[in-house]
Amino acid sequence: MIKANNPNLKSWVEVPAHSDFPIQNLPFGIFKTRYLAPVAGVAIGNHVLDLVYLHENGYFDGLGLPVGLFNQKYLNDFLSLGKSRARDVRERISELLQQDNDELQANRAAREIALIPMEEVQMQMPVRIGNYTDFYSSEEHATNVGTMFRDPKNALLPNWKYLPVAYHGRASSIVVSGTPIHRPKGQIKLPDAELPIFCPSRKLDFELEMAFITCGETKLGSSISTKDAEDHIFGFVLFNDWSARDIQNWEYVPLGPFLGKNFGSTISPWIVTMDALEPYRAKGPEQFPHVLPYLAVDGEKNFDVMLEVLIQPDKGETTSVCRSNFKYMYWNVNQQLVHHTINGCNIQDGDLYASGTISGASPGSFGSMLELSWNGQRPLHLTNGVERKFIEDGDTIVMKGHCEKEGVRIGFGECKGKILPAL
């Protein structure tokens, strides 16, 4: 058992009830304040722990960490040290924050500098994302989309149950939670029109996803096995893969998504480590037909993360429109990473791999407006009589996620973005 995951641990830092960030979590992120340039921190309750201060003042002595490791605007160099070194740092932070440890607790001056209230910080992109891949790994989502746009009897294409389908997306347009997104423009072709037109998207959508971030670079030509895959998965964030369905529908044949996807994606700012999620492993769906040997895994590789999507119209009330779960994924993260590298593709520190839309079996668990409104045929009814077929200008989409077991709640914070009119 990882010591920092002990459900009996208590911190001397006050952690409110139902907080996403108890001592058993300790996610990593990058923050800045009025006085601090972007630096690395860890969330605990309603505070951020300044890792630069801890490192420079000897609290990490003995761990052999490079000078200036946390005094950077991204966590990539930290990730490059590998998962075992990150585990050592998380364990040491856990020790410092435990209620019976006086090292930091008894030093009032150090405590007041190192612990910063969350309302005083501005969260930043946690990593410099060099490469981004988006999978398509929810059987329910793929079946819904295939039913809508193809033959319902053959909703899944022949390859879907043999490999984790994916495409390479645009890394430069991934933004941190709270960053607004302008409605994209592009070509669309109306059903009764002979020619396409150029205009702002009329079918703007969210996609409820999670994403993992890699550590431990590999060489071009090498592959990762299912046995070693988790050594390269540092942690997870919530992910909103904004989608312009009408632009995508016109452009995606024969090469797949382009302008319908690359205008923006939003991530939550805190990376919840895979170590912190260890107690929340879950069995995934039965895979049939049997996967090819290189994709075979042993044990529980899915995670029981409860997910929710809320819509808030401009100056309106917030409505919950979706409740889903990460454990529904047909293809798990180990298989996704293994398949990604089986042809010799190398991975880099800070690469991001999104799950694809996470939908469950019931309509209330569908992870996109495309499914929730069935491509606009069944409008959603929000609070105060507001209806939505797709996302309108001024709407804010909020995604949340957490695990809960033995009285411990591990959360991800918010993945939040507001849609502004097209430029």
**What is the structure's pLDDT at 151?**
86
Average pLDDT over residues 343-362: 98
b (16+ CB within 10 A) / e for 62-90: eeebeeebbbbebbbbbbbbbbebbbbbb
Per-residue model confidence as pLDDT tens digits over 170-208: 999 999 999 999 999 999 999 999 999 999 999 999 999
141 is catalytic: yes
**What is the structure's pLDDT at 356?**
98
* Cα dihedral across residues 197, 198, 199, 204: positive or negative: positive
3-state secondary structure of 79: helix
Q: What are phi and psi of 103, to 5 degrees?
A: -50, -50
Per-residue model confidence as pLDDT tens digits over 48-93: 999 999 999 999 999 999 999 999 999 999 999 999 999 999 999 9
> Distance between CA 358 and CA 52 in Å, rounded?
36
Per-residue model confidence as pLDDT tens digits over 87-144: 999 999 999 999 999 999 999 999 999 999 999 999 999 999 999 999 999 999 999 9
Q: Would you give the end-to-end CA distance of the chain in angstroms?
A: 52
Per-residue model confidence as pLDDT tens digits over 31-41: 999 999 999 99
Q: What are phi and psi of 418, to 5 degrees?
A: -110, 140
Q: Is the pLDDT of residue 342 over 90?
A: yes
Report the predicted TM-score, pTM, of the whole model to 2 decimal places. 0.98
Q: Which of 141, 232, 340, 402 is catalytic?
A: 141
**What is the structure's pLDDT at 386?**
95
User: In this structure, which topology does domain 3-123 adopt according to CATH?
Assistant: SH3 type barrels. (2.30.30)
**Which residues neighbour 351 within 8 Å (Cβ) at sequence distance 6 or greater?**
129, 130, 131, 132, 133, 213, 214
Assigned CATH for 132-420: 3.90.850.10
Judged by phi (left if over 0) then psi (alpha if -120 to 50, else beta), residue 413 lies in: left
Per-residue model confidence as pLDDT tens digits over 375-398: 999 999 999 999 999 999 999 999
Average pLDDT over residues 206-230: 98
Per-residue model confidence as pLDDT tens digits over 253-310: 999 999 999 999 999 999 999 999 999 999 999 999 999 999 999 999 999 999 999 9
The residue among 28, 54, 32 whose CA lies nearest residue 41 is 28
What average pLDDT does the structure give for the chain?
A: 97
Give helix then strand counts, H and E, for the chain: 8, 26
Token pair in block for residue 207: 């996609």
The residue among 333, 360, 177, 195 whose CA lies nearest residue 268 is 177
**What is the structure's pLDDT at 1?**
79
Residues of the chain with CATH 3.90.850.10: 132-420
Residue 224 in contact with residue 241, Cβ under 8 Å?
Answer: no
> Distance between CA 86 and CA 272 in Å, rounded?
12
Portion of the chain with pLDDT greater than 70, in percent: 100
